[in-house]
Each structure stands twice: as C-alpha cells, then as structure tokens.
C-alpha cells in the first residue's frame, strides 16, 4: 500500500533521534510560551519562529515548528481551564466549562480530558491528512497560473469571512497585507518598489519581523494596557486521572468533535475556532441535560477541545497540498518554508517526500509527546502562571529582538519590528483583526506573480479566469462566500457568534 | 437633522487606510504601470492601493452614520518603552556588541510596566543577558560580536 509506505517514510524521518529531539524541544517551548496568559498560539509561534531557523535542516526545522504549534495550543487550553484566560480564540470555548470544572475542584480531570480528546482527534486527523493530501496534490498539480490566482482569492476571502468584526475592515486589512507583501524588488523588471530608498528592504519586508511585530509586540502592548493581578486559584492540581464515569461521558463528544473539527479544519480561513464553536453547540443540543453546560459539563470540554485540535491538524491539508494557508499559523508555516528555500505547493510532496510525510508523522508524535510529557509536568505549568507579566515581557522583547536579527543579520528588520508593532497595535485598537493582514502579506507576491503570468498567457484577456472551469468555479466560491457574509441575516448571526466568543 | 458627527474609532481607521492607500498609489505612479497584457511593476499595487482607498472611504461613510466601540485605554507607557527596545538593539548590536546591547534592550523594555522596580529590572536584565549569551552565542553559535568596537579595549578583557 502506498499510503503505508509513505507513512513509514514519514515515521522513519520523524523518529530519527535529532528530529525527535527537535519535536520535543518544540512541544516544550510551545507549551512554555503558550501557557503564559494573554499570548496566543500565533504570537507564540511568531516569537519562536526565528529559533527554528537556526537548524539547518528544513525538515527538522518544520517539525520543531509544528511541535511549537501543538504545544502552544495545548498551553492555551491550560490557561483557559486554570485561569479562564484563553490564549487563543479557539480555546475560548474550553474556558466556558473548563474553568467551571476547575472551580469545582476538577481542574486535573479537565486538563486530562482536554489532553486525551486532543490526542484522539490528533491521531484521527493525522490519518485524514495522510489519506487526503496525495489526491489533492494530484489535482493541484494541474493548476495553472489562473487557477492559483483564483484559489488564493478564495483563501483571502474566507479569511475575511471568518475574521471578527467589520467585514469591510477585514477586506481592507487583506489589501493592506497584499501591498506590504509586494514591498521589495519586482521579480520581472528588478525595479525596487516601496522601499523608500532603503537598500536593506530590497528583498522585501522580513516576514518574521512583520509577524513578530503585528502579533507579538502588539499583543504585549495590549496586555500592558491594564495590568491587573491575575488570580490563580489553583496552586496545585491533583486528581489528573478521569473517573470511569468521566470516560463514559467524554467518549461520544470526542468522536463527534473530531468529525466536526476535521471537516471544518479543511476550510480556509481559521477552521479551528469555528470547529470548537460548532462542537460546543452540537454537544449542548444533543445533551440530555443542557442546563449543565456553562457549569462544568465534561462534554463541553471534551468536544470543543477535540474539534479544535482536529481542525488545527486538518488545516495542514490546504497548506501542504496547495501552499495556501488556512489560518495565520499556516501562514507562518509557509513563511518558514519559504525562508528555508522550499516553495510551498503541490510539488513539495513529490520533490521532498521525506519532508512532506515527516511533518505528517511528526504531528502524531508531537501529540503523543504532549500527552506523555505535559500531563506529568502540569505542576510546572501551573507555577509558570504565577510569574508576573512585567517579568515576562522584557524577556520576550529581548528574545524577539535576537531572533529577528538572527534571521538575516539585518538591523533594518528590527526597525520593521518596531514599526509593525506600532501599526499592529494601532490597528487592533481600531478594531481591525491582524490575521487577514498576515495572510495577505504571505500571499501578496504569489498572487501578483500568478496574476501577471495568467495575463501574459492569455495575451491580456482577463476572461481567462472565467473560461477555465476550475478557476471559474473557485472564483464563484469566493463570490458566494462574500455575498453570504454580506447577507443581512448571516451578518447578524455572525455578529452574535463573535459576541458570544468574546 | 442631527448634528454631523464622526465616530472616532472608525474615523481614524478610515483615515489610516486612505492615507496608506494614498501612499502606495503615489509610489506606484512613479513606477512603470504597463498594460493588462504586460503588467509593469506598478500595475498590481496601483489597483490594490485604489481598492484600499475605496474601502477606507466605505469605512468613513460608516463612521459618519454609525457609532462604534470607543478606542479605549491606550498603553502609552508601554509604547514608549517597548517600541524603542528593538530599535535600540538594532542601533547598538554592531557597535556595542551583542552582550551590552541585549542587556540594555531588556532594561529599556522593563520600564514599560509601572510595576517594575529598578533593582528587579537590573537583576532580570543581567540574568537574561547571561541566558541569551549561553543559548544564542555559546550553544547555538550565532555569529554575533560579543563586545563591539565602541567599547574601549581595556573594558573588554
């Protein structure tokens, strides 16, 4: 069986001693930063990204990065449960019932359920990625410039649809991101564009600097707005092992959550958040006693946690096969690949099978490490929660500075960090989501290149995007998504969902 | 007729997008635009910049018609100390060298919080510098000069 051969290749890559080590370091670092309250998975990855570049081998580097991702997600649900402070919006749902469980003295069980649910979902969705990635790759290989252009439009439009708040603002953020992504030398003519005459920006704005600024620095500034004491009521966590009754109650929600999460995760535009919400709603609906939800229902932790992990995992599918990021984290992964000299897209699976399958296998290993290592280490993570924030952010700032500088040893990248930190903070204050901007930034150059190539191939006839069936289909999907989010009914519903989330 | 008011949050937001769009549009006009068949370096950015200006205008219209959430508290002190930290590191990492530069960078960032006491900041920055030296300079072997040419030679052993 080809699938098994491929998985075997993946596992032999991922289980080499060095890669296991990098996966472990990634998972631990990710959890370490992820449990620090107020710092979500995206910010964590943005901050740790430069470290992974120090590893020469792209496979190890991406495996570590993926490890950081799972770690950060896990760390996010830990803070959600223990101090009701979700680091990431996808664990906001976990906080609802998880925190109540912790208040009822069941913090240990809640954490264990979250970990077990995530592990199960991770296992299933790893297989899904392995099964669905190759056929999608085969389809993607037939894509021409026009199809790629239309596909990216779909990705960008969906990121708009799933952003919080105003759709117009999200659209503006995408466009701004695209423009920022174009800064640098034009590939066709070699003309420098928008560099303000600064030679150091000729290669474009450094992706890491933009990500660290917009997500990392801006988030620190937001946390500094009102510094108040965090109350950590749980000083020690005991009773990790769920009871037999817990196991019975969480089995079905975990399975349902996994299915919902896997399906929604493939959708471009931030599937994990949507998945967690959908799962919570479903669990509440099928439950025999819905009144328990919000007061510490096990199902309310098990379902969404599985769903968000499954979604996080299957969002790798569009990233690995098409090179299209489904959410900001995947945008970071793509940025990392480009820096490592790998062009994301369907060719990755063919030209670099060890990398492709190694990442898939390491997803499962990373999840295993999380459950084996983090549950026993929970005491340590709880201690971390008591570190005051004012001690943390100088450390984060120093490491961000070193990290960004180490990518290209370009001091102008550090000025970009400050600028994008400011811009990111300003835009958050103006209620603009940073996620679409980052997506636009990553896709900007690719979008332009494919647009120009498609237009040259069609001799300047823009109808090429509509006469090629796949391209036309994709554009239709993008249009449909836009129309749907602007429909008054959906608009209202959408606002309700996000209000509930906050 | 009700008095003409502009919502602050959306008003500033619209102005920002229009300004940025205008900046990119002006810069694009200085580049070769080309035709739809053979797009020059300025074509795509000009289109995007115009779209950005239009979106800014839509937000402006919304700002006049509706009220939205207020901007809220702004972390002035945070911005004053956090944003200069990476700039300072960039300005000094070559001249002062990695070790003094990272120490001072951490020290500057420390003062972003009103809760930080000077002594804590010093101790924290020192520990951080030692850690950064061990991890980045010693273990990972990043090619940074530990002490730079700005320092008098007798200060560096």
Tens digits of per-residue pLDDT, B138-152? 776 677 777 878 777
B84, B115, B132: residue with CB nearest A402:
B132
The CA angle A87-A271-A166, to the nearest 5 degrees, is: 75
Residues contacting residue A396 through CB under 8 Å, at least 6 positions apart: A39, A47, A216, A220
Q: For residues A65 and A45, what is the distance between their CA atoms, to the nearest angstrom?
A: 7
Q: If pLDDT is split at 50, 70 and 90, which confidence band does B18 have?
A: very high
Contact A406 B32 (CB under 8 A): no
Q: If pLDDT is split at 50, 70 and 90, which confidence band does A502 have?
A: very low
Residues contacting residue B16 through CB under 8 Å, at least 6 positions apart: A426, A427, A430, B56
Q: For residues B36 and A260, what is the distance between their CA atoms, to the nearest angstrom?
A: 43
Residues contacting residue A382 through CB under 8 Å, at least 6 positions apart: A82, A232, A234, A235, A236, A237
Window 133-152 of B, Cβ < 8 Å to A: 136, 140, 142-143
Mean pLDDT (whole number) for A58-69: 85
Q: Distance from A83 to chain B by nearest Cα, in Å?
A: 21
pLDDT (0 to 100) of residue A231:
56
The CA angle A445-A451-A453, to the nearest 5 degrees, is: 100
Among chain A residues, the shortest Cα distance to B13 is held by A430
pLDDT (0 to 100) of residue A500:
46
CB-based contact (8 Å) between B55 and chain A?
Answer: yes
- For an interface test with B, which of A183, A398, A399, A446 has the most B Cβ atoms less than 10 Å from its Cβ? A398
Q: Cα separations (Å) of B153 from A69, B102, B156?
A: 45, 19, 5
Contact B59 A168 (CB under 8 A): yes
Locate the domains of chain A by residue range. Answer: 2-501
Q: For residues A480 and A379, what is the distance between their CA atoms, to the nearest angstrom?
A: 49
Report chain A's mean pLDDT, rounded to a whole number.
80
Instruction: Judge whether residue A443 has pLDDT over 70.
Output: yes
Lowest mean pLDDT among A148-152, A256-260, B1-5, B79-83: B1-5
Contact B45 A182 (CB under 8 A): yes
Q: How many residues does chain A have?
A: 502
Q: Are A466 and A475 in contact (CB under 8 A)?
A: yes
Q: If pLDDT is split at 50, 70 and 90, which confidence band does B157 have?
A: low
- Give the pLDDT confidence of B44-74 residue by residue, as tens digits: 999 999 999 999 999 999 888 887 777 778 8
CB-based contact (8 Å) between B94 and chain A?
Answer: yes
Q: Are A448 and A149 in contact (CB under 8 A)?
A: no
Contact A406 B17 (CB under 8 A): no
pLDDT (0 to 100) of residue A501:
44
Element (H, E) at A192: strand A192-193
Residue B34's DSSP bridge partners are B39
Mean pLDDT (whole number) for B118-133: 89
**Closest CA relative to residue A265, chosen from A126, A120, A68:** A126
Residues contacting residue A417 through CB under 8 Å, at least 6 positions apart: A209, A212, A213, A217, A400, A401, A404, B86
> Has this prediction a pTM greater than 0.80?
yes
Contact A394 B125 (CB under 8 A): yes
**Burial (0-12, 13-18, 19+ Cβ within 10 Å), A97:** buried
Share of chain A above pLDDT 90, in %: 5
Instruction: Judge whether residue A369 has pLDDT over 60.
Output: yes
Share of chain A above pLDDT 70, in %: 90
Computed from CA positions of residues B114, B118, B119, B122, in that sequence, does the dihedral angle turn out positive or negative?
A: positive
| Residue A185, helix vs strand vs coil | strand
């Amino acid at each position: 069986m080809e699938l098994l051969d491929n998985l075997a290749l993946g596992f032999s890559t991922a289980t080499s001693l060095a890669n296991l080590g990098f996966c472990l370091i990634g998972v631990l670092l990710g959890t370490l930063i992820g449990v620090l309250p107020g710092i979500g998975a995206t910010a964590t990855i943005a901050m740790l990204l430069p470290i992974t570049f120090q590893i020469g081998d792209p496979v190890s580097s991406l495996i570590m990065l993926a490890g950081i991702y799972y770690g950060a997600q896990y760390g996010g649900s830990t803070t959600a449960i223990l101090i009701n402070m979700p680091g990431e919006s996808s664990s906001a749902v976990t906080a609802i019932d998880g925190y109540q469980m912790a208040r009822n003295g069941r913090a240990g069980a809640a954490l264990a359920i979250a970990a077990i649910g995530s592990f199960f979902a991770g296992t299933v969705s790893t297989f899904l990625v392995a099964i669905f990635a190759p056929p999608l790759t085969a389809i993607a290989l037939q894509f021409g410039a026009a199809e790629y252009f239309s596909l990216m439009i779909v990705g960008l439009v969906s990121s708009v649809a799933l952003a919080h708040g105003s759709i117009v603002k999200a659209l503006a953020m995408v466009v701004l991101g695209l423009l920022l992504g174009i800064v640098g030398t034009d590939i066709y003519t070699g003309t420098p564009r928008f560099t303000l005459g600064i030679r150091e920006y000729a290669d474009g704005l450094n992706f890491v600097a933009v990500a660290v600024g917009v997500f990392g620095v801006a988030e620190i500034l937001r946390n500094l707005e009102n510094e108040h004491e965090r109350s950590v009521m749980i000083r020690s966590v005991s009773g990790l092992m769920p009871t037999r009754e817990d196991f019975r109650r969480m089995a079905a929600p975990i399975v349902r959550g996994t299915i919902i999460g896997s399906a929604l995760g493939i959708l471009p535009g931030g599937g994990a958040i949507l998945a967690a919400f959908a799962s919570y709603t479903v669990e509440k609906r099928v439950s025999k006693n819905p009144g328990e939800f919000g007061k510490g229902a096990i199902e309310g932790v098990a379902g969404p946690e599985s769903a968000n992990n499954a979604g996080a995992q299957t969002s790798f599918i569009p990233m690995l096969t098409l090179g299209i990021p489904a959410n900001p984290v995947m945008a970071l992964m793509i940025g990392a690949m480009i820096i490592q000299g790998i062009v994301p897209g369907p060719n990755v699976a063919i030209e670099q099978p060890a990398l492709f399958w190694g990442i898939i296998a390491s997803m499962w290993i990373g999840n295993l490490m999380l459950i084996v290592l983090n549950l026993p280490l929970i005491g340590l993570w709880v201690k971390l929660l008591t570190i005051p924030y004012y001690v943390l952010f100088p450390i984060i700032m120093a490491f961000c500075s070193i990290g960004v500088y180490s990518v290209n040893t370009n001091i102008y990248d550090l000025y970009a960090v400050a600028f994008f930190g400011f811009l990111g903070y300003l835009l958050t204050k103006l209620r603009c989501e940073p996620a679409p901007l980052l997506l636009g930034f990553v896709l900007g150059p690719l979008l332009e290149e494919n647009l120009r190539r498609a237009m040259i191939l069609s001799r300047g006839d823009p109808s090429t995007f509509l006469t090629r069936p796949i391209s036309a289909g994709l554009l239709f999907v993008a249009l449909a998504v836009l129309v749907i989010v602007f429909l008054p009914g959906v608009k209202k519903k959408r606002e309700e969902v996000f209000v509930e989330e906050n | 007729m009700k008095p003409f008011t502009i919502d602050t949050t959306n008003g500033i937001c619209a102005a920002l997008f229009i300004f940025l769009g205008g900046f990119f549009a002006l810069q694009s006009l200085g580049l070769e635009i080309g035709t739809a068949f053979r797009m020059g370096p300025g074509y795509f950015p000009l289109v995007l910049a115009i779209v950005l200006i239009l979106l800014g205008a839509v937000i402006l219209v919304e700002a006049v018609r509706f009220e939205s959430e207020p901007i809220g508290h702004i972390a002035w002190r945070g911005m004053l100390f956090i944003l200069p930290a990476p700039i300072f590191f960039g300005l000094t990492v070559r001249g002062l060298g990695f070790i003094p530069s990272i120490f001072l960078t951490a020290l500057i960032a420390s003062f972003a919080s009103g809760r930080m006491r000077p002594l804590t900041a010093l101790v924290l920055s020192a520990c951080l510098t030692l850690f950064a030296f061990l991890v980045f300079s010693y273990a990972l072997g990043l090619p940074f000069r530990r002490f730079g040419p700005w320092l008098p030679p007798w200060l560096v052993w």
